[in-house]
Structure 1
Amino acid sequence: MIERMLVLSTANVTAETCNVYLHAAPFAAFEKGDYGWFVYVPTDLPDDLPADLADCFDVASRAGVDWIMLDRDAQEYPGLPTYHW
């Protein structure tokens, strides 16, 4: 099986989303070294999903991708808010 991945900047989510929420996320989320995450895009979104991550999932869903890679060196995605941390 081949799955597609959307690459977004960690600046497209808050520090709290990366450092707190993703550690306990009710879907697959894996740290990518010290500077990023691999995050599965679930079809059923949890009720406590942070708004910044919901925005990223919306972009991913519209693009038809299964995973998001959040990387500190990736470009910020146009149209998504940015959070400098």
Structure 2
Amino acid sequence: MNQSKEQLLATIDKIRRAIEADDSFEGHLTYTLEWSTGDKTEFEVSGAYRIGNSEGQGGMAVLAPSVPSVEQPVLETPKMLVLRTSHVERRTSLRLDKVLSSKGPICFNKGEYGWFIPIIPWNEMDQAERANWTPDLMAIRRLAENNGCTWIMLDRDADTIDVLTTYEW
């Protein structure tokens, strides 16, 4: 936050009084001269110090640095379940390689490393697409859905988990 010289000194006095009153046992303060023209001086101030320690656990006073006001776009950040490819059977892996040109779960090939599979709502798939979800993929899909994921990434270098079957191939 930007503070004038007077405001910075007042902040330092406030921290000093809290320490004197045994009301603050830790903290830090950083200040840097931002600019000075004539009799006006501005400092960029940041830090945090504990307050209310005399009343128990207390809280924290935070002096946040100034951040330019920029409108942030709303970003879509999907959640992805990442598992090793060995959680699908070999026949499923061969099927996933062929899915790119046929009916079945939509998937995006990661080359030799695995696949990305979006979780399309069940009611938006036709009967043929639903029938191509193998039992091993359905177990992965249920785990992903139960954990709020909208994507599955099967990767040969990812971790395995105990709640799913691991296949050797």
Return the TM-score normalized by structure 2: 0.47
The structure in which a higher percent of residues are strand is 2
Unaligned stretches of 5+ residues in structure 1: none
Aligned to 1:6: 81
Question: Percent of aligned pairs with the same residue?
Answer: 35
| Pick aligned residue for 1:23 from 98, 102, 105 | 98
Give the alignment's TM-score, normalised by structure 1: 0.88
Residue 165 (structure 2) pairs with residue 58 (structure 1):
no
Q: 1:22 Cα shift?
A: 5.2
- Deviating 4+ runs (over 6 angstroms): none
Cα distance in 1 for partners of 2:150, 2:78 equals 6
The number of equivalent residue pairs is 85
Supply the AA of the counterpart residue of 2:165.
Answer: P
Alignment partner for residue 40 of structure 1, among 104, 118, 122?
118
Q: Which has the higher contact order (CA 8 A, sep 6+)?
A: 1
Please, what is the CA RMSD of the aligned residues? 1.6
Structure 1 or 2, whichever has the larger Rg, is 2
Unmatched runs of 5 consecutive residues or more in structure 2: 1-75
Q: 1:22 to 1:65 in 2, by over 3 A?
A: farther
Q: Distance in 2 between matches of 1:84 and 1:60?
A: 22
> CA-to-partner distance for each residue in 1:4-46, whole Å, 9 max, x for gaps?
1110110100111111245225342011121210011122160
